[in-house]
């Protein structure tokens, strides 16, 4: 197992802080001291605070895209929906800070990283919309996808932030019972 590099330390610390307090409210001083490095190293490695943030988002987008696209391969109907919900909940559990960030930034506009955020949203919504179109062709795909995505996302965050003693299966069961 490879040693964690300075870059990775910084990304990890920044993601945790920004998910909790927001981008502007998190100073580079905070990030540097949480990562155990000097402020200069942050700028050496990323160039600017917003570039650091964009790197974090891009990394998360890639990870989520791969995971969601793989989840429904070869599946249809409710099996596909079950798999998608389960995979998204698993991603939320593995990367709760990224999930918080997504929720916080999705409906904002005019920020420099808005395009990257839009990508995540479209990727996730698109995965649900594809299942909807395939399973219930008579339903409104995008609005239904938003409802399914919202149910999974908020239940997942409710779990991790406010009821961490629950299991993934508890949450999965609650979401699937609700949307079936």
Q: Where do contacts with DNA occur on this chain (CB under 7 A)?
A: 5-6, 24, 26-29, 36-41, 43-45, 47-50
Query: Which CB sits closer to DNA, 44 or 136?
Result: 44
Rounded Cα distance, 95 and 8, in Å? 15
Q: Which of residues 91-110 bind a copy of itself (CB under 8 A)?
A: 100, 103-110
Q: How many chain residues are in contact with a copy of itself, going by CB under 8 A? A: 47
Query: Which CB sits closer to a copy of itself, 86 or 152?
Result: 152
Rounded Cα distance, 48 and 180, in Å? 46
Query: Which CB sits closer to DNA, 43 or 123?
Result: 43
22 binds a copy of itself (CB under 8 A): yes
The token pair that represents 120 in the structure block: 């995540």
Q: Which of residues 110-149 bind a copy of itself (CB under 8 A)?
A: 110-111, 125, 139-140, 142-144, 146-149
| The one among 13, 14, 23, 89 contacting a copy of itself by CB under 8 A | 23
């Amino acid at each position: 197992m490879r040693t964690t590099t300075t870059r990775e330390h910084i990304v990890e610390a920044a993601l945790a802080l920004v998910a909790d307090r927001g981008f502007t409210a998190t100073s580079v001083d905070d990030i540097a001291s949480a990562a155990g490095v000097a402020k200069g190293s942050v700028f050496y490695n990323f160039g600017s605070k917003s570039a650091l943030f964009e790197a974090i988002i891009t990394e998360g987008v890639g990870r989520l895209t791969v995971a969601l696209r793989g989840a429904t391969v070869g599946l249809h109907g409710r099996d596909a929906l079950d798999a998608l919900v389960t995979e998204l909940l698993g991603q939320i559990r593995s990367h709760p800070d990224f999930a918080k960030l997504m929720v916080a930034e999705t409906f904002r506009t005019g920020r420099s990283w808005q395009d990257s955020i839009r990508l995540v949203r479209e990727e996730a919504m698109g995965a649900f919309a594809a299942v909807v179109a395939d399973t219930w062709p008579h339903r409104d795909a995008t609005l239904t996808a938003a409802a399914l995505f919202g149910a999974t996302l908020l239940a997942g965050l409710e779990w991790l932030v406010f009821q961490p003693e629950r299991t993934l299966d508890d949450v999965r069961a609650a979401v699937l019972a609700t949307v079936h």
